[in-house]
Amino acid sequence: MAKVKKRLVKEEDNRANSVIYYELIGLVAIFLAIIIFNELGTIGYYSRLFLKVMFGDWYWVINIFIFLTGVRLIYKHDYIDYHSLRVIGATSVVLALLMLSHVKVFEYLERTNENVLYGTWNYYISYLTTKSSDFILGGGLLGGIFYTLINFLLGSFGTVLISLLMLFSGISFLFEKTIHESLVGINKTFSKTFNNFSSLKKFFKYEINRNEKITKNVKEKTRKKLTLTEKEVKYDFNLQENVSKVISVDIKQILYSLNINFTSYHYKTNYAFTAYIFDVRGNFDKDKTFSKIKKLTNDLAIVFYNLKKNRVKIEIPNTYVKNLNLKNFYNPKVENCLTLGVESENKLKYLNLKEEGCLLVAGSYQNENIAYINMLLLEIIYKYSKNDYEFWFLDKKNNFRNFFGQRFDSFEEILKQSSEIIDLRMYEKRNKNIFIVLNNFEEYYHYKYESKFMFNLQTSVSTNIYYLINSNRVIEQQSLINFIQNKIVLKMHNYDLSEQLTKSDYGIHLQKSGDILYVYKGGVKRIYAPIVSTREVEKYYK
């Protein structure tokens, strides 16, 4: 354990050094983009001229790309993955625009009866000589080369057709969708527009003179019904299974190339990742094997090696990830429970409010913590009628501003009011459910509140008061951590926090986007949950 801790500390130091490196390059990229955009000095003048000759009238797109690359390096501290679907889509869109823009230049060159490639070169040399604003730059030298090549093979009409296909497929890839999914989406959009138009016609024909008043309760039910009629996510694993199978073969080839004997080789595809598991026999060069596997997956793989069992487990995020929605979770037949996520066996995991209603949500990515609590709060809205629950918020950063409820300014105030309600409810059988959301808990918690808060936690469940606590840093009070038995652990960066919450370093090995650990009295369970953004909450309330 100490060796692992030292290794993680070393990795943190390396990461800190690389952060400065990425930020410096990012600043240089942003500065260069500004210089080119404003044509500042000799560098700005000739850089802009170069981009115009290479990319024609679309040179500004490349300038924006340089600027956004700099912003990304500063924000994410990582280079762009040029193998990603979005980058391939952006490249396809740019090439299509360059070729389509080169049509007029090509027509002009045909009239001059010059050799196309030689004529293209002379055309842009003439622009460099005169720098006249009358020149149509088209797609630049790059667009001219691609246009000439495809035009030679397929003719003018074929070139335009290929360009349009590249444009459509590129836009699909930009939104991380296959061409088939985009075509289905277009069909659905047209069908929805036609249905809305038909409904509008019926409205004007039959219902324009109706003056019926709709009560608030009916509105609330309609809103819930409309939200829940959203189609349930159907997981078609065919595409992912094909990808996983190819990666499985690649991993085998790596093992064969290193002369590693292995048995019991198999893989299993879950919602968020695919796990490849095998047992090692004989010599095993762990570092070299892990290094090659990381290169295969662009450092996305998480690799575990059980020394006692000689078992290796490799987890790789799925290429085709489909986020779950609340339709997959909502189960009105299960009373007094909140659904926390889906287990690897595709079974739902519940939190029994009557027995274990307080929950701590912790992780290094604050936006994912918020997204998970969003999911729980929306599920509460679905499960209960408006008269059966209320929300209390201690949320200084205003992350839950879209939810209606009582707002508090201090932890002391919320403790005092909850204590008073607990005293009043001790002898009542039926009480309204109160869900208390404490956001960024570590910022305002103090040891002087510990005894009172412990008492509230211990008695709140029996009086229908439930705490949802969000924290993204190490909480010094270990007794409080141990007292709150039910915890949701998301992706971690901090070894100590992972150790504190899960009694292991497993939190730092979790994938993102809904891959979580549920820590409870009976042990630790790995589950997968939907990510509900603040924007989706806003849509619900609209």
Rounded distance between C-alpha atoms, residue 492 and residue 483, angstroms: 21
Smallest Cα–Cα separation from 54: which of 93, 98, 89? Answer: 98
For residue 407, give both structure tokens: 């707002």
Whether residue 74 contacts residue 26, with contact meaning beta carbons closer than 8 Å, is answered with: yes
DSSP state of 319: S
Q: Which residues pair with 306 in a beta bridge?
A: 311
Q: Exposed (0-12), middle (13-18) or buried (19+): which is 232, by Cβ within 10 Å? A: middle
Rounded distance between C-alpha atoms, residue 174 and residue 85, angstroms: 7
Find tokens 């049509």 and name the residue: 103
Q: Which helix (H) or strand (E) holds 148?
A: helix 140-174
Helices (H) and strands (E) in the chain — how many of each? 18, 14
Whether residue 233 contacts residue 328, with contact meaning beta carbons closer than 8 Å, is answered with: yes
Whether residue 174 contacts residue 89, with contact meaning beta carbons closer than 8 Å, is answered with: yes
Rounded distance between C-alpha atoms, residue 366 and residue 374, angstroms: 12
Sort residue 22 into left (φ over 0), alpha (ψ -120 to 50) or beta: alpha
Q: Which residues pair with 468 in a beta bridge?
A: 359, 437
For residue 146, give both structure tokens: 């691609």
pTM above 0.75, yes or no: no
> One-letter amino acid identity for 266?
H
Q: Which parts of 203-281 fold into alpha helices (H)? A: 216-228, 238-257
User: In the sheet that 302-306 helps form, which strands lie side by side, from edge to edge?
Assistant: 261-269, 273-281, 311-317, 302-306
Q: Which helix (H) or strand (E) holds 189?
A: helix 179-202
User: In the sheet that 515-520 helps form, which strands lie side by side, from edge to edge?
Assistant: 348-352, 337-343, 523-528, 515-520, 487-489, 359-362, 465-471, 433-438, 389-394, 406-407
Residue 334 CB contacts under 8 Å (≥ 6 apart), including other chains: 350
- In Å, how far are 4, 5, 474 from 9, measured between CA atoms? 9, 6, 16
pLDDT at 392: 93
Sort residue 275 into left (φ over 0), alpha (ψ -120 to 50) or beta: beta
pLDDT at 492: 83
Whether residue 188 contacts residue 156, with contact meaning beta carbons closer than 8 Å, is answered with: no
DSSP state of 463: G
Smallest Cα–Cα separation from 169: which of 177, 161, 157? Answer: 177
Instruction: Compute how many other C-beta atoms are within 10 angstroms of the C-beta atom of residue 444.
Output: 15
pLDDT digits (tens), the chain, 542 positions: 444 444 444 444 554 456 677 788 888 888 888 988 888 888 888 888 888 878 877 878 888 888 888 888 887 766 776 666 778 888 888 888 888 887 777 777 776 666 666 677 777 777 777 766 667 777 777 887 888 888 888 888 888 888 888 888 888 877 767 676 677 667 666 665 655 555 444 444 434 343 333 333 333 333 333 343 344 445 556 677 788 888 888 898 888 888 888 888 888 887 677 889 999 887 788 888 888 888 887 777 878 788 778 889 888 877 765 556 666 666 666 777 888 888 866 678 888 888 777 888 988 888 888 888 988 898 888 888 888 889 999 988 888 888 889 999 888 888 888 888 888 776 666 678 899 999 888 777 777 777 788 888 877 777 888 889 888 765 555 666 677 888 889 888 877 778 878 877 778 778 777 788 898 887 888 888 877 777 777 777 66
Question: Cα 425 from chain centroid?
Answer: 42
Rounded distance between C-alpha atoms, residue 476 and residue 203, angstroms: 61
For residue 497, give both structure tokens: 């926090």
Rounded distance between C-alpha atoms, residue 305 and residue 172, angstroms: 39
SS (H, E, C) 96-146: HHHHHHCHHHHHHHHHCCCCHHHHHHHHHHHHHHHCCCCCCCCCHHHHHHH
Crossing angle of helices 103-111/140-174, nearest 10°? Answer: 150
Rounded distance between C-alpha atoms, residue 497 and residue 481, angstroms: 11
For residue 456, give both structure tokens: 């509230």
- In Å, how far are 205, 235, 256, 285, 305 from 308, measured between CA atoms? 76, 36, 23, 16, 9
For residue 351, give both structure tokens: 């939190």
For residue 282, give both structure tokens: 């004989």
Instruction: Compute how many other C-beta atoms are within 10 angstroms of the C-beta atom of residue 484.
Output: 18
